[in-house]
Structure 1
Amino acid sequence: MIKSQHTVQFQNFKDLLWFLWDTQQCNDDALSLATSIAWAMWIRRNQKRNGKKFVTNPLLVQWVGQFSSDFRVVNVKSPLEFAKYSQAWKLHTDAVFKVNVDVATFSSQRMCGVGVAIRDEKGLVVGALS
């Protein structure tokens, strides 16, 4: 719920979000809803510009509200499910090495890159290459 009754104008969407977060102290659900409405309005604008069918603003807000509600329902994790998958990295007591590898591809340049980091049992980097 917006606490102030005066008109406020914003230069951009980021300023609106900061206003909602900081001044109005909105929770994550309210910010998510505001962002989703803006996203849906942007899609609606593009549909209108391209001569496609589009919904009215009240129907758009109603659809976003239902979409957000449905999203929250199907994406709620039970404490048991969360605990099942929450594992933290543990320090090895043996003298072992851990190797992390990552690859990046750049199709337009027809190139790729590889990065490697080698860490000891204390997590200190003992070797790296790219």
Structure 2
Amino acid sequence: MRRIVVQDDVCEICKEASKMTGHVLWSCSKAKEAWECSKVNVCAARIGGVSFQGVMWQLLMVEGVDDEKAARVVTIAWTLWHNRNEMWNEGVRKSGQVLVQWAMEYLAEYGVAMELNEPAGPVVEHPVVWTPPRSGCFKINVDGATFSKQKDAGIGVLIRDDKGRVEAVLSRKIEAPLREILVCKMLFWRGIR
């Protein structure tokens, strides 16, 4: 509603609450169905907050869950959000059981891919080229990408504090003629501004 994409913020599934992130991920009947199927004990009400960051903080820092459980929680939350977006674009509403099965298959595929990518020999450490800003300041890194086949372009922004912690991340599709973007990119990389 803030971005004037929708006129009504009532959850289209349960029709009981505003479809804020916390509702979509934890308290909507659709979310509760998925969490019950998952056998992962995530209860936003028990944790005392409904933000994704709050729940993850509780699980990781207070309860000390292992990486495997944290990965399951993140992936199930992602499938819930993804399915919500699919429904918004006239896709099919999937059951909680199907979403959890999809999340677990996705995690298994990821695990196999990571095992295949493990280096055979010793890992060579490269020197760090990023230097932090002076104390109390932030550093902003910006990059762009062009996708010729899709005739599209995008930009990414990363903001870090003086300790190297990520403070904000943004990526956006750029609405501009691809030819002009490619020319600007070419001139930039050649050092002509």
TM (normalized to structure 1)?
A: 0.57
Counterpart of 2:124 in structure 1 is 87
Query: Structure 1 residues 70, 89: closer, same or farther in 2, change over 3 A?
Result: closer
Query: Structure 1 residues 11, 76: closer, same or farther in 2, change over 3 A?
Result: same
RMSD, aligned α-carbons? 3.5
Instruction: Please identify, of 18-27 and 49-58, the stretch whose mean Cα deviation from structure 2 is larger.
Output: 49-58
Long gaps (5+) in structure 1: 91-103, 115-130
Query: Structure 1 residues 89, 73: closer, same or farther in 2, change over 3 A?
Result: closer
Query: Structure 1 residues 45, 76: closer, same or farther in 2, change over 3 A?
Result: same
Rg: which structure is higher? 1
* Matches for 1:102-121 after TM superposition, within 5 Å: 111=184, 113=188
Counterpart of 2:83 in structure 1 is 44
Deviations 1:101-129 (A, max 9, x none): xxx66986964556xxxxxxxxxxxxxxx
- Equivalenced residues, count: 100
Distance in 1, matches of 2:144 and 2:98, equals: 43
Asked whether the 8 Å contact 2:47–2:58 carries over to 1, the reply is no
Query: Structure 1 residues 105, 65: closer, same or farther in 2, change over 3 A?
Result: closer
Counterpart of 1:125 in structure 2 is none
Is 2:73 the counterpart of 1:34?
yes
State the SS of the aligned residue for 2:61: helix
For residue 18 of structure 1, what is the amino acid of its counterpart? W
Query: Structure 1 residues 62, 9: closer, same or farther in 2, change over 3 A?
Result: farther
Query: Structure 1 residues 47, 79: closer, same or farther in 2, change over 3 A?
Result: closer
Distance in 1, matches of 2:68 and 2:55, equals: 15
Distance in 2, matches of 1:16 and 1:51, equals: 30
Runs of 4 or more, structure 1, over 6 Å off, are: 106-109
Distance in 1, matches of 2:52 and 2:65, equals: 15
For residue 64 of structure 1, what is the amino acid of its counterpart? A
Counterpart of 2:102 in structure 1 is 63
TM (normalized to structure 2)?
A: 0.41
Query: Structure 1 residues 82, 13: closer, same or farther in 2, change over 3 A?
Result: farther
* Cα offset, 1:41, TM superposition: 0.5
Is 2:62 the counterpart of 1:23?
yes
For residue 38 of structure 1, what is the amino acid of its counterpart? A
Asked whether the 8 Å contact 2:76–2:103 carries over to 1, the reply is yes
Distance in 2, matches of 1:72 and 1:105, equals: 30
* Cα offset, 1:59, TM superposition: 1.2
Distance in 1, matches of 2:89 and 2:77, equals: 18
